[in-house]
Structure 1
């Protein structure tokens, strides 16, 4: 049984990962909100990653950082605070968590770190300047740390397209927008958090033991296929 620390495991993608992993692993959830589910293998700490000190823990095998933002505005309406806020929650929060728990990860037999990017870092999309820039920094961090921590700690990221979570609710707030989002993707769908949880489960498992420094695009074909 592994010990998996999930930053932001109460909602959305983090919640889906937590619920998938709880059956066979100990999950430590660190987030601002209490989880709406209970399991004997779940431990929860209330913590705002940008403000509070992260809790001291005894052991960690896997660290997953889930917090993110979707701040879509025309460039001329973005101010420096928008860029700073996106950078802090998407990038600096991940750095803070990794630095805090790096000593414990180094003590694990087969440690791994999983972060999250976005398809917008590869596919140029209007109104994504702030979030795409922040997530591009995450991708750079993944590759740099994968090199620095090898061969001990594997570091990977998932770059999903639009996912049916509360965070993306404005993009999927009615049937018309949902249909438009489906039509934009060559596979004629958008993602469900459970799909991403399955990929996350694979990447932190021994089945992905030869993968590090990878950005896995879960994009329903939008970045590579012309439909």
Structure 2
């Protein structure tokens, strides 16, 4: 049974992934809040990845960094601290986790890392300057580490569009906003956390053993199509 470390597995996409993996994997969750789910295969470490020392873990075959932010403001209202904070949670936190657990991952079975970007790194969207900067850093990290760590370890990222989580609740806070978001996507839908977790599960599995250094757009067509 493989052991997967998930940073930020108590809410949203991370929570959906934890619940998906528990039947077949040992899951080690690292997050500020305790997961609602309890299971014999689940171990939880309470930790703020930006502030605290990450826990020591003896072995792992995969690492998924789910911690992130959505900070949408006009450029004139974004402070330098906004940019720093978004970069800290999205990029520095991911680097910190990778550096901490890379030695044990290299000893794992077909080890893999999964990170998260956003469609806003590819598609110019108003008010996304800070998060687009941070997630573009994640995409550069995936490309660089994919080359550096091959063939020992694979690393990929998922770039979702709007996903129905607490983090995106301000974008989906009423029926009119939900209708507008739905209509903007060519597939006339947005994402559920479970859909994104399905892609993460695939990237962690042997089914994706030939895939590394890639960023997968789960975009419901918004980046890919002009209709």
Please name the residue that 2:74 is paired with.
74
Q: 2: distance between equivalents of 1:140 and 1:27?
A: 27
Please name the residue that 1:201 is paired with.
201
Shift of 1:109: 2.4
Q: 1: distance between equivalents of 2:109 and 2:11?
A: 29
Q: TM-score, normalised by structure 1?
A: 0.99
Please name the residue that 1:122 is paired with.
122
Runs of 4+ in 1 over 4 A off after TM superposition: none
Please name the residue that 1:182 is paired with.
182
**Structure-to-structure mapping, 1:75-224, within 5 angstroms:** 75-224=75-224
Question: How well do the aligned residues superpose, as a CA RMSD in angstroms?
Answer: 0.5
Shift of 1:131: 0.2
Structure 2 counterpart SS, 1:55: coil
Q: Deviations over 1:69-98 (max 9, x none)?
A: 110111111110000000000000000000
Structure 1 counterpart SS, 2:83: helix
Q: TM-score, normalised by structure 2?
A: 0.99
Shift of 1:226: 1.2
Structure 1 counterpart SS, 2:158: strand
Q: 1: distance between equivalents of 2:224 and 2:37?
A: 37
Q: Deviations over 1:96-118 (max 9, x none)?
A: 00000010011112000000000
Structure 1 counterpart SS, 2:64: strand
Runs of at least 5 residues in structure 1 that lack an aligned partner in the other structure: none
Q: 2: distance between equivalents of 1:45 and 1:68?
A: 18
Runs of at least 5 residues in structure 2 that lack an aligned partner in the other structure: none
Please name the residue that 2:37 is paired with.
37
Structure 2 counterpart SS, 1:36: coil
Structure 1 counterpart SS, 2:59: coil
Q: 2: distance between equivalents of 1:39 and 1:178?
A: 34
Structure 2 counterpart SS, 1:158: strand
Q: 2: distance between equivalents of 1:86 and 1:217?
A: 21
Q: 2: distance between equivalents of 1:62 and 1:123?
A: 29
Structure 1 counterpart SS, 2:28: strand
